[in-house]
Structure 1
């Protein structure tokens, strides 16, 4: 499973980033314009909130486990989640988590 988590983390980095970079190339590197585009309609706003809540939940889980188990490398999943997305952060965390002896 560990290699599957890693493959999903890589895919979760490359696939969304290709869309983000395409959008930035077409519309300029204005982060607030991108945020406004995310809220273009009720459907996209719902997806934004869905992913925001998932990212917050993942962050709390990562923080809880990293602090309680002193697994500081696992904290890499947090910037991956907020800089790339849950599609990268969650499988990256599962990859990092699966490498430890329980």
Structure 2
């Protein structure tokens, strides 16, 4: 495996674990209340801006993944879509880059 793939894999793992260090305590305290979490994402203009930045980035990443998978036929790369929406762009993007950097046979 190339050094670049190791970097992408490390970033995907970091992007999965580090944000959960913030989400997990909140979920433990409040339960998995999606409405309350979305309400906090819209608590003020700064947080709302970050929220929309991530949503737009996630949509763009999903469009890119689908467009490339349809050409490259790298079906495993589709795993980056649920990773993006269930964990975050911080995991989904480097995971996709890791899967995309695999040599084509």
Match of 2:42 in 1: 39
Deviation of 1:100 (Å): 2.4
1:55 is matched with which residue?
58
CA distance in 1, matches of 2:102, 2:45: 40
SS at match of 2:104: coil
2:83 alignment counterpart? 80
- Counterpart-to-counterpart distance in 1, 2:75 and 2:85: 17
Q: TM-score, normalised by structure 2?
A: 0.93
> 2 CA distance for matches of 1:65 and 1:59?
10
Runs of 4+ in 1 over 2 A off after TM superposition: none
What is the aligned partner in structure 2 of residue 27 from structure 1?
Answer: 30
Q: For 2:51 and 2:91, locate their aligned partners in 1 and report how far apart those are by CA, in whole Å.
A: 16
CA RMSD, Structure 1 to Structure 2 (Å): 1.1
User: With structure 1 as the length reference, what TM-score do the two structures score?
Assistant: 0.96
What displacement does 1:101 show? 2.9
